[in-house]
Structures are given as C-alpha cells and as structure tokens.
Structure 1
Amino acid sequence: MATPPEPELSPPFLITAPEGGTLSPFVFNSPHSGRIYPRSFLAASRLDLMTLRRSEDSFVEELFSGAVGLGAPLMQARFPRAFVDVNREAYELDPAMFDGRLPSFANTRSMRVAGGLGTIARIVADGAEIYRRPIGVAEGLDRIERYYKPYHRALRQLVEQSRRLFGTAVVIDCHSMPSARMTQEARRRPDFVLGDRYGTSCASILTDVAQETLQRLGYTVARNKPYAGGFITETYGSPATGVHALQIEINRALYMDETRYIRAGGFAWLMADITHLCRRLMSISAEALRPGRQAAE
C-alpha cells in the first residue's frame, strides 16, 4: 500500500468542477503547472528552486480557469513535473539515476528516458542535473504509486464521466513552452502550438477551430512542431472510441517573466483570449465528435 503524500502535497492534485454541473464533454487538464516542491525533494537536489522551476508550466491552470465557468472541469497537478511527470508512461525510468535495480517492466530505453526526461526526470528543461546522488528505487516507485497513478485514475474517471453523459469526451491538455529567447533558438517560436499527433488524437474540427480562433485573435499558430503531443495526448486520444485529445502549448513570453516566474502585464488579456478559445471549442456539438461521425463524413 502506498504511503500518504508529502504533507505539502496533500492533496496532490485538484479538480475544479463547474458549479452548475458539467455542460459539455470537455475536460481541461494542466499536468505540468504544479509548483509545490516538497522539502525532501529540494534537499536531495543540487539545484536551487528557481532552476528547478525551468521545467514548470507556470500559471497555465489559471490561464484556462475560465473553462470552469463555461461548464467544464479543470484538473491540475500540485506537484511539479521535475518531481514526477504524469505526461509519461508510468515507468519510463533511467537506471543510471537510481541506486538499485529497476523492475523488469520498466521502460528504460525510450527517447524521453535517453533525454533525461522520464517519469522521474534526471534533468530540468535546460539540461541541468537534478540530483546530488542516485535516488533509491523504492523512492522512485513510491512517487509513481502516490502521485502518478492516482492522477491518471482521476483523469480517466473524468473522461469516462463525459463519455457516459455525452457519448464522447475531449481532453484539452494544457501546457506552456519557453520562448526562443530562453532556448537560444534563432527563429521566433509561435505563440501557440497545437498538438494532435498529426491528426490521430482528435477529430480535425477541434484542431481547425482552435487554430482559426487563435489566428483571428492575432496569434501565430503552428501544428505539431515542435510539440505533437505527449503521453496524455497519445494515450487518451482515441477518436474511434469517441475520446479526443488536443494538446495546447502557449509561448511563455506572452504572459510571464520567464526568469522571475511572475505574471507579466499581458496575463489578464491572454486569459480572456483563452477563455474565448475554450468557448469556441466547447460550442462544437457532441454529435460532431461521437464515434463514426468522422467516417460518415
């Protein structure tokens, strides 16, 4: 049996339900915006708090909070992705960072593990090593039991509830990305990147409406490059069974100071635009998203 969560992380995630009841099949999910760093984790890290936060999708759950007033639940992690990343397989683990032998079922050879960004990350977003020394296998597995698995159980319950009520469900996976300035890229990054696993994780109407809405608001939008969608988009998105998943990445330069982790002057404006985006997406009829509809067209 898993031990209770760290005191700072009780509860480990939040689900904000609409007061008037769920009015649409949409579920909004912010898996990387958690910013409560357990004291034991900070003590084990060679990095200071501000450096650890480079992997964090700061304030994304606030930007999408308007969806709740429109009738959709919003789920958010309170733990940071540097601590445990729910947008990975359950056991994408790097054997080099653990003291002890991993279980045979662990996926130790994925590209994400090779890059240092498995379920228990070895590095933060800019490549800095997180830990002073290898961590115990039992500790890593315990994080998966205490945080990862309960998170996905709750997310699956929300999805199944929507599918029962509406005959379909739509997961909007909400993320942010560092600007080109923070990544030393030569070309400016778009304002938004929409990831639908190259058209396989959701009906095209969802991606089309999102792109059209954002472009009408004056934003630059890319599809699937450089982010096509992670584990959540790939795993939950199954249009043939009536479950759709679309990942939305927001350029952090639009709404925050990326070095001080504070909201910038355009935060309220962007939040209003994202609420408008949510409204437009949620205006898509459930009938258009049910299994068989796309094939029929």
Structure 2
Amino acid sequence: MGAPHPFDLIPGAAGSPVLLHVPHSSRVLPPSVRDGIVLDRAALERELDHITDSHTAELAARAAAGCALTPWRFVNGLSRLVVDPERFPDDREEMLAVGMGAVYTHTTHRERLRPRGMDPQPLIDRYFHPYAEAMTAAVDARLADAGRAVVIDVHSYPSAPLPYELHGEGPRPPVCLGTDGFHTPPELLARAESAFAGFGGTGLDSPFPGTYVPLKHYGKDPRVSALMIEIRRDVYMSEPGGAAGPGLRELAAALAELVAGA
C-alpha cells in the first residue's frame, strides 16, 4: 500500500469560478506522523471524532454533482492532526495560545498531543507548504479560466463548545458563515443566507470567524471572493464522530444552490 495522498484537486467545469475547499474531513494519519503523537489508540480515535469535520467531503461531492456548472473541489486527504492548512505557520496564528497552530501540540480538550519540545518545521515543510502552493495554483487557475475565483470553505463544528475554542461563548447557529472584510462581497453572503435559511437560521463569524484565502491573494486581489460555511454537526450527523443523517442530503442541495449563484 502506498502513502496516503496529501490532497486532491477534483476538476470541475472550465468556466466555473467556484472552488469548494474541504480541509478538515479526513481522519488519515501517515504512520510516521502517528508515531509522533503521544495519545494511545483509543484516545486518538476520540480526538479524531472531535476534531474531524466528518462527511464534509461527501457533502461537497454531492453538492458538486447537483450543479449544472460543476465546481472544482480541493480536498485534504490527511487529518488536520498532521498539519492544519488553514492556520498561519508563524506567530500570527491566534490558536497558538491553545497549542493549535499549523501543527497541533494539544487536543481539543487541551491535553498534550505531541511531546514537549517537538520541532514542527519538518511537518510544515513536508505537508503545509505543498498544500498551500497547490491551493494557490488552484485559485490561480480559476482566475485564468473564469476571470475570478470563489473559494467556499466547507466545515462543520460541534453543537457544544469544546475547551480549545477561543470564541466558544458566542452564538452557535445551525449554519455559521465566516466572512472576510475584503474577500466576502455582500451579494455572496446574501446568497448563502438565502440558500441555508431553511435550517433554522444562519449567523456570522460565531463561533468561528473568517475564511480561507491563499496568502498570495489575501487582501490584494478583489477577484478572489471567499466564504466559510460552518455547519453545526447536529444538523446532519450523530455527534461526535458518528454517521450522517438525512440532513446531509438537504445541506448538499443548499450548497449546490449557493454554488449555482456564485
């Protein structure tokens, strides 16, 4: 058996500007990474239940299949316990305060994940930078082919706050929409609010704010729009890491509606 593939770019229609980004759906850990984690097997499985955005890759795939103009998909093939591609790889990252920068040293319950003094740089070099470069290239390709790019981040989050959350005291709507002042145009936000209105309401930037834009484009290129979709897990699955329910099909239809209007 070969090494697990770190990420996949699944082609869509040449004219589609939309890139569905699914960074946290996988539970896969290469053996070399697993060996550097101090949790036993049972504790690691529990942590993966909590930290993984389960079924979001399937959600994106279903949504893409429901679109007349197929969006592109960029899907992380490895767990975010390898590296988290959506963190800053330096001291700008606020999640460093709880040991969850680009390379996590602590768990969702603030327990030790990796040994004290471990050097994160080899993981950043091997996994983080190639991912960022490939995602940047994917956005550049949408700009070249479609004249613009729309990055829609597909995430989920638990119905009850976990100890690692820095903003867990805020609202936890069925669908949280993460925005950026430069890259989230009002019309994209309005379409998302309309598409997901049937799930009991949407909220903005709580409990998780912001959205993903490659650093090459961040704050510089207005042709790149971005929005994060954070779905509360009880809307579509059994928590913390259980099976998907009928809500997944309904969410896929809503996401397809958003993509079609983007």
TM-score scaled to structure 2, two decimals? 0.84
- 2:24 paired with 1:32: yes
Kept in 2, the 8 Å contact 1:171–1:244? The answer is yes
Alignment-mate amino acid for residue 30 of structure 1: V
- Choose the corresponding residue for 2:186, options 194, 198, 204: 204
Alignment-mate amino acid for residue 191 of structure 1: P
Kept in 2, the 8 Å contact 1:28–1:172? The answer is yes
**Cα RMSD between the aligned structures?**
2.6
Alignment-mate amino acid for residue 77 of structure 2: R
Kept in 2, the 8 Å contact 1:202–1:237? The answer is no
Percent identical residues: 27
- Choose the corresponding residue for 1:219, options 191, 196, 200: 200
Provide structure 1 residue ranges, at least 5 long, that are not aligned to the other structure.
Answer: 1-5, 93-106, 285-297
* Cα distance in 2 for residues equivalent to 1:146 and 1:14: 16
After TM superposition, give the deviation of residue 206 of structure 1 in Å: 0.6
After TM superposition, give the deviation of residue 132 of structure 1 in Å: 4.1
* Cα distance in 1 for residues equivalent to 2:230 and 2:258: 17
Number of the residue aligned with 1:113 = 96
After TM superposition, give the deviation of residue 234 of structure 1 in Å: 7.9
Higher relative contact order by CA 8 Å / sep ≥ 6: 1 or 2? 2
After TM superposition, give the deviation of residue 172 of structure 1 in Å: 0.4
Alignment-mate amino acid for residue 26 of structure 2: G
Kept in 2, the 8 Å contact 1:203–1:239? The answer is no
* Cα distance in 2 for residues equivalent to 1:60 and 1:233: 19
Provide structure 2 residue ranges, at least 5 long, that are not aligned to the other structure.
Answer: none
Number of the residue aligned with 2:252 = 274
Query: How do 1:1-297 residues align onto structure 2 when only pairs under 5 Å count?
Result: 7-9=2-4, 11-18=5-12, 21-47=13-39, 48-53=43-48, 54-69=50-65, 70=67, 71-89=70-88, 91-92=89-90, 107=91, 110-135=93-118, 137=119, 140-180=120-160, 189-197=172-180, 199-215=181-197, 217-230=198-211, 232-233=212-213, 235=215, 236=217, 238=219, 241-259=222-240, 261-266=241-246, 269-284=247-262
* Cα distance in 2 for residues equivalent to 1:81 and 1:56: 8
Larger Rg computed on CA atoms: 1
* Cα distance in 2 for residues equivalent to 1:280 and 1:38: 35
Alignment-mate amino acid for residue 157 of structure 1: A
1:44 is paired with a residue whose SS is coil
Kept in 2, the 8 Å contact 1:14–1:76? The answer is yes
Aligned CA distance change for structure 1 residues 166 and 146 (closer, same or farther; 3 Å): same
Kept in 2, the 8 Å contact 1:196–1:247? The answer is yes
Kept in 1, the 8 Å contact 2:63–2:255? The answer is no
1:137-180 CA deviation, whole Å, 9 max, x = no partner? 3xx22221221111111111111111112221100011111112
1:80-104 CA deviation, whole Å, 9 max, x = no partner? 1122111012x33xxxxxxxxxxxx
Aligned CA distance change for structure 1 residues 152 and 123 (closer, same or farther; 3 Å): same
Alignment-mate amino acid for residue 7 of structure 2: F
Kept in 1, the 8 Å contact 2:21–2:153? The answer is yes
1:17-61 CA deviation, whole Å, 9 max, x = no partner? 13xx33420001011112112223333322232233122111211
* Cα distance in 1 for residues equivalent to 2:218 and 2:227: 8
Count of aligned residue pairs for this structure pair: 251
